[in-house]
Amino acid sequence: MTDLSTLLEPTKTLVKQVGAFIRKESEDFKLADIEHKGFNDLVSYVDKEAEKKLVAGCKEILPSAGFITEEGTETERQDEFNWIIDPLDGTTNFTHGLPIYAISLALMRHDKIVMGIVYEINKDECFYSVKGEKAFCNEKEINVSPINHLNDSLLATGFPYYDFDYMNKYLKILNELMQTTHGLRRMGSAAVDLAYVACGRFEGFFEYNLNAWDVAAGAFLVQQAGGKVSDFKGDDDYIFGREICAGGTTHESLLKVIRKHWEAKN
């Protein structure tokens, strides 16, 4: 039986090593190095090389595990363990020289996340937890915010950038929250947003059209830090369901606002 706690330290070391590679590459990165996977869906050689390094390192740490990766370096899944990897969450920020991007790495056992690491590269902040233990940032225990009213909350979200079918519903959600909270922030990295919810910097986060590698590690951190995570229906299909609402004691209030507009016919 695999002892998850023994996997955490070598995985953190791997993530920080790859983070150092990304940090170094950012010094000379040029817009000409950008590639396009689709409309407003950017990638670079940095994403690809970082993912190769992460996959190679994870194979050494847990050889029996499979992979779910953003750039498709390794796509073979296994029955028990699978790594879920986003080598550079916040690629658009990275390519434009904005210092908010992270590595997101989670380990899934069957259908449950059992380890999560989000490494915010520029601030050198490593958020991490493993099943059965508490959540930490750079060795310091973290918890979700104790604020329990939306009107005292600072929230994070992401804006639609390629699928605009739900734009009107989303704008109605934003319109209400802009008037009933301390404000909304769009950081450009769901992994960072979720890590910041886990440590209490944000009271909540919501977004749609996300992938498993965007949210798996961060959602786990929020839960390990005492928070709640759901899809927009209030169910638990948020890793592969492409929509997520996360928060501390404000979760239900935030979800109520989202559902009111999201489930409306118009």
54-112 tens-digit pLDDT: 999 999 999 999 999 988 888 899 999 999 999 999 998 998 899 999 999 999 999 99
Q: What's the confidence (pLDDT) of residue 153?
A: 98
Q: Is the pLDDT of residue 1 over 60?
A: no
- Residue ranges of the chain that CATH labels 3.30.540.10: 4-141
Q: Is the pLDDT of residue 232 over 60?
A: yes
Which comes out higher in pLDDT, residue 161 or 4? Answer: 4
Q: What is the average pLDDT score of the chain?
A: 93
pTM listed for this prediction:
0.94
CB-based contact 127:142 (threshold 8 Å): yes
Which comes out higher in pLDDT, residue 30 or 221? Answer: 221
Q: What's the confidence (pLDDT) of residue 179?
A: 96
Q: Residue 114 CB: number of other CB atoms within 10 A?
A: 18
Average pLDDT over residues 114-127: 98
The CATH fold of domain 4-141: Fructose-1,6-Bisphosphatase; Chain A, domain 1 (3.30.540)
DSSP state of 73: S
Q: In this structure, which CATH number among 3.40.190.80, 3.30.1490.20, 3.40.980.10, 2.60.40.60 belongs to the domain 150-262?
A: 3.40.190.80
Residue 51 CB contacts under 8 Å (≥ 6 apart), including other chains: 69, 70, 71, 73, 85, 87
Average pLDDT over residues 150-168: 85
Q: Is the pLDDT of residue 175 over 90?
A: yes
- Residue ranges of the chain that CATH labels 3.40.190.80: 150-262
Q: Is the pLDDT of residue 162 over 80?
A: no
Q: What's the confidence (pLDDT) of residue 34?
A: 73
Q: Among 12-21, 84-93, 163-172, name the one with the lowest average pLDDT.
A: 163-172
Q: Is the pLDDT of residue 127 over 50?
A: yes
The percent of the chain in helix, strand and coil, each rounded to the nearest 5, is 35, 25, 35
Q: What is the dihedral of CA 201, 202, 208, 212, to 10 degrees?
A: 40
Q: What's the confidence (pLDDT) of residue 264?
A: 81
